[in-house]
């Protein structure tokens, strides 16, 4: 059977079996569309039904999360964990707390995570979870009660050699702390069941910065391949959360200038470069909106509407907010304004049509699977430190991270050459990530 007939049949089965899950369909299609040349070369994957197995999570968990607010009112949220693939190690992937969380979004994230974790070269399978809970505007006590209730069900499914969750949108150090505490209390076991832990109780130096720093390291590799460097470049970034903030920090350290940042309400344009300490204070400490920035920085402007951040002229664009935030119109504007690299800090922030525009206009496009893998890579290093009960220095972790990102760039470039799609790093990432998982699945038999 021709490779494209195989991938089409798998895709149709995914549509039929997972109705009403557009984000999951999109993520699966994007991977299947690039695997044709691999299946032509290695028919053993087709025979063993590797694709059919990979699009079906190994286990799906959905549960009720009841909790009480400060006034004594009772609320009920829905919790999830999708344990997608454990061929390369324990399930690994974040928890997202956001009102838009659904099975579709978490399945797309869990599916992508399998390939991303494979690219890091570390021993990690893929999974993702979360809840449709909105931590915004909740007191610390409310967030704690929610996290404890969430963990009172999830504890039975996770463990340091089974499934090791981490943070994602809406889940930072505070939430990880509350969930870890509840796990420890129920299981009577102090163990590395989460990554992104506090530094005093098992966290790794460098984990907080890892996704943003890693994103910049891989963008630097791509720039070098073009004979250029970061010094003097202007950069636009969407979001102003963990990934956006630490990408900004690393860009500034390396001599570039971040001129735009956003949140879900709007964006700031700071032609002289954003003042990162102010952004950190607003977003990480005071948990305020990005528009507050212009109150203390008069040369910057604020505009409502987060999508317009891409109208700001830049050499490099780093979408670091959420899925499908950068559409075809934004992609055309970026290409027209001379943008040379787009690297995804968020997961799937660029729509498929936007990616087509980048390919057609020779804008280097680095997909999230590769470009934002730094976070999970350092999570893997946190697991390694926990197993040995040791702590590495920041410098050691950062050097490892840099090496891992350079290696990912090498792997995906190599795959584009070997499988006849030069310049298409999205395909390169899918192919390189897939082959490692597929080989492990073949070796482990029909499971």
Catalytic residue numbers, as ranges: 128
Measured from the CB of residue 287, what is the shortest distance to ligand NDP in angstroms?
8
Measured over all CA atoms, what is the biggest interatomic distance in the chain, rounded to whole angstroms?
A: 64
Phi, psi of 278 (to 5 degrees): -65, -45
Look up residue 371 and give its two tokens: 């470009």
CB nearer to ligand NDP: give 11 or 250. 250
Judged by CB, which is closer to ligand NDP: 30, or 325? 325
- Cβ contact 129:93 at 8 Å: yes
Cα–Cα distances in angstroms (integers) from residue 13 to residues 7, 10, 16, 438, in the given order: 10, 5, 5, 19
CA atoms of 306 and 426, how far apart (whole Å): 25
Output Rg (C-alpha) for the chain, integer angstroms: 21
- Distance from the Cα of residue 143 to its chain's centroid: 23
Q: Which two tokens stand for residue 46?
A: 């087709």
State the residues that interact with ligand NDP by CB under 6 A. Answer: 167-170, 211, 239-244, 263-265, 306, 320-322, 325, 345-347, 372, 375
Q: Tell me the residue length of the chain.
A: 447
Helix (H) or strand (E) holding 178: helix 173-187
Distance CA 336, CA 69 (A): 49
Count H helices and E strands in the chain, helices first: 18, 12
Residue reference for tokens 């997909």: 367
Judged by beta carbon, residue 6 or residue 258, the one nearer ligand NDP is: 258
Token representation of residue 186: 């129920």
Q: By beta-carbon distance, which residue lies closest to ligand NDP?
A: 241
- We find the least distance from the C-beta atom of residue 446 to ligand NDP, in angstroms, to be 32
Q: Is 94 in contact with 82 (CB distance < 8 Å)? A: no
Token readout for 332 is 């055309």
* Measured distance CA(193)–CA(37) in Å, rounded: 38
CB of 87 to ligand NDP, least distance (A): 21
Residue closer to ligand NDP by CB (options 57, 239) is: 239
128 SS3 class:
strand
| Cβ at position 350, least distance to ligand NDP in Å | 12
Output 78 or 174, the one with its CB closest to ligand NDP. Answer: 174
The residue assigned the tokens 């073949």 is: 442
Is residue 430 within 8 Å of residue 115, measured between CB atoms? yes
Euclidean distance between CA atoms 248 and 415, whole angstroms: 30
Rounded to a whole number of angstroms, the minimum distance from the CB of residue 209 to ligand NDP is 9
Q: Which of 287, 259, 288 has its CA nearest to residue 275?
A: 259
Question: What's the min distance (Å) between Cβ of 331 and ligand NDP?
Answer: 16
Rounded distance between C-alpha atoms, residue 60 and residue 440, angstroms: 22
* H helix intervals, 254-290: 276-280
> Judged by CB, which is closer to ligand NDP: 307, or 439?
307
Cβ proximity to ligand NDP, 8 vs 265, nearer residue: 265
Nearest distance from C-beta of residue 119 to ligand NDP, angstroms: 12
Strand 126-131 to strand 74-85: parallel, antiparallel, or no bridges (unpaired)?
antiparallel
Please, which residue, 240 or 397, has the CB nearer to ligand NDP? Answer: 240
> Cα 129 to the chain's mean position, in Å?
13
Tokens at residue 3, please?
């490779």
């Amino acid at each position: 059977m021709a490779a494209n007939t195989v991938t089409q049949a798998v895709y149709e089965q995914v549509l039929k079996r997972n109705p009403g899950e557009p984000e999951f369909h999109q993520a699966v299609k994007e991977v299947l569309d690039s695997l044709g040349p691999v299946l032509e070369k290695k028919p053993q994957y087709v025979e063993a039904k590797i694709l059919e197995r990979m699009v079906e999570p190994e286990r799906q968990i959905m549960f009720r999360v009841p909790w009480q607010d400060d006034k004594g009112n009772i609320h009920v949220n829905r919790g999830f964990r999708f344990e997608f693939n454990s061929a390369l190690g324990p399930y690994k992937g974040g928890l997202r707390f956001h009102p838009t969380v659904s099975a579709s979004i978490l399945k797309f994230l869990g599916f992508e995570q399998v390939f991303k974790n494979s690219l890091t070269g570390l021993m990690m399978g893929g999974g993702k979870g979360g809840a449709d809970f909105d931590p915004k505007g909740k007191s610390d006590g409310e967030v704690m009660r929610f996290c404890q209730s969430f963990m009172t069900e999830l504890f039975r499914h996770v463990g340091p050699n089974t499934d090791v969750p981490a943070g994602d949108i809406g889940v930072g150090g505070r939430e990880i702390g509350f969930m870890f505490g509840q796990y420890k209390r129920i299981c009577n076991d102090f163990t590395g069941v989460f990554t992104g832990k506090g530094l005093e109780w098992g966290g790794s130096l460098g984990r907080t910065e890892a996704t943003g720093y890693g994103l910049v390291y891989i963008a630097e590799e791509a720039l070098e391949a073009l004979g250029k460097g970061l010094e003097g470049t202007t950069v636009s970034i969407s979001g102003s959360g963990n990934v956006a903030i630490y990408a900004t920090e690393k860009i500034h350290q390396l001599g570039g200038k971040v001129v735009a940042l956003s949140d879900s309400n709007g964006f700031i344009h700071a032609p002289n470069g954003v003042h990162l300490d102010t952004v950190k204070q607003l977003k990480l400490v005071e948990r305020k909106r990005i528009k507050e920035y212009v109150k203390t920085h008069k040369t910057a402007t604020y505009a409502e509407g987060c999508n317009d951040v891409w109208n700001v002229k830049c050499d490099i664009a780093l979408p670091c907010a959420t899925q499908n935030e950068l559409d075809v119109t934004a992609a055309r504007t970026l290409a027209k304004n001379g943008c040379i690299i787009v690297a995804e800090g968020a997961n799937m922030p660029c729509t498929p049509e936007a990616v087509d525009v980048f390919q057609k206009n020779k804008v280097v496009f680095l997909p999230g699977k590769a470009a934002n893998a730094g976070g999970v890579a350092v999570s893997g290093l946190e697991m390694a430190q926990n197993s040995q009960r040791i702590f590495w220095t920041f410098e050691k972790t950062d050097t490892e991270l840099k090496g891992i990102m350079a290696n990912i760039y090498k792997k995906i470039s190599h795959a584009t050459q070997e499988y006849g799609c030069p310049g298409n790093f999205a395909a390169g990432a899918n192919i390189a990530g897939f082959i490692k998982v597929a080989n492990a699945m073949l070796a482990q038999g029909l499971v």
